[in-house]
Amino acid sequence: MATILDGKKLRDRILADLKIRLDKSGKKPTLVVILVGDDPASRIYVNNKKKTAEKLGIKSVILNYPADVAEKELLDKIYELNEDISVNAILVQLPLPEHINKDNIINAINPAKDVDGFTPSNFGKLFSGQKPHVYPCTPKGILLLLDEYNIEIAGKHAVIIGRSNIVGKPLAQMLLNRNATVTICHSHTQNLADITKTADILVSAVGGKIIEENMLKNDCVVVDVGIFKDENGKTRGDVNFEYASQVASYITPVPGGVGPMTITSLMLNTVELFKEQVLSPAERLNFELSSISDE
């Protein structure tokens, strides 16, 4: 029976530590979240981010725009936030409506305030072995969780299902930086099970049932990024948990695994950017934050 990779427990510890540091400093970083439209899932995510931030003493402002907002209005707001020294971190919740060019929006964010690490400057740094301002939240949360349980990465075969800019691609690079052998699978991959059966670390970021019986190697580590409601309204992940938890050595639950770690990384990233922008070198010493090993 697999050991549970408990994202809630690690989140609670990291955020309690972060709160102590923020309280002691008497300082309040500011995160601005831009939410376009009224997608219910995005609204839940954004409200969770706000609740978590406020509990910690991070100021969080949600700017909610109607689904038909003009791209120019969003760009003008981002330019304004870039210049506003009271704003430390900017997040544009994805996905955006079709009529808005997502790349134009992301490219407009000042890389020093890019709390997702999605701008070409931060993304390019990650892929060229330089240090970005911050690492994307979900991959960073996954590495924090693997490190917490001392799971070895170097030399292991990591198979990632999903090639998004939010999870699959940056995670692949971050695991490669840690000397894993990495395979990225996606919707065109043939004979998926033949590949997943060779995974020492299997990460699924699909948002649908994808890992079923006979697809995993004994004692592998399973990280399930997917979260959705099944036909009975039950919240579940990409992985058949009943099966996988019998075969794997470690597994993330859904909910309670990767989700809480993504929010934890967002809080850490907000404070990291704040630290770079605002704190003196002496003050930074009191802000040694939980980090992944190639940070």
**Contacts to ligand GUN by CB under 6 A:** 91-94, 116, 137-138, 166
Gap between the Cα atoms of 39 and 96, Å rounded? 10
Catalytic residue, candidates 77, 93, 156, 275: 93
Written as six digits, the tokens of 43 are 């609204």
Residue 126 sits at the vertex; the CA angle it makes with 177 and 15, to the nearest 5 degrees, is: 85
Cβ distance to ligand GUN smaller for residue 227 or 279? 227
Cβ distance to ligand GUN smaller for residue 116 or 272? 116
Gap between the Cα atoms of 235 and 255, Å rounded? 7
Cβ distance to ligand GUN smaller for residue 98 or 242? 98
**Over 103-154, what HEC string results?**
HHHHHHCCHHHECCCCCHHHHHHHHCCCCCCCCCHHHHHHHHHHHHCCCCCC
Residues in the chain: 295
Question: What residue is closest to ligand GUN based on CB?
Answer: 94
Residue 271 sits at the vertex; the CA angle it makes with 267 and 277, to the nearest 5 degrees, is: 150
Catalytic residue, candidates 49, 113, 140, 156: 49
Gap between the Cα atoms of 286 and 295, Å rounded? 17
Q: Is the dihedral of CA 119, 121, 125, 130 positive or negative?
A: negative
Q: The sheet that has 250-251: what strands, in order across it?
A: 3-4, 250-251, 221-224, 201-204, 157-161, 181-185
Cβ distance to ligand GUN smaller for residue 160 or 166? 166
Written as six digits, the tokens of 134 are 């911050």
49 is catalytic: yes
Cβ distance to ligand GUN smaller for residue 116 or 224? 116
Output the CA torsion 128→134→140→144 (10° steps). 110
Phi then psi dihedrals of residue 159, to 5 deg = -110, 125
Cβ distance to ligand GUN smaller for residue 20 or 67? 67
Residue 100 neighbours by CB under 8 Å, 6+ apart = 36, 69, 71, 74
27 is catalytic: no
156 is catalytic: no
Catalytic residue, candidates 113, 114, 116, 156: 116
Residues recognised as catalytic: 49, 93, 116
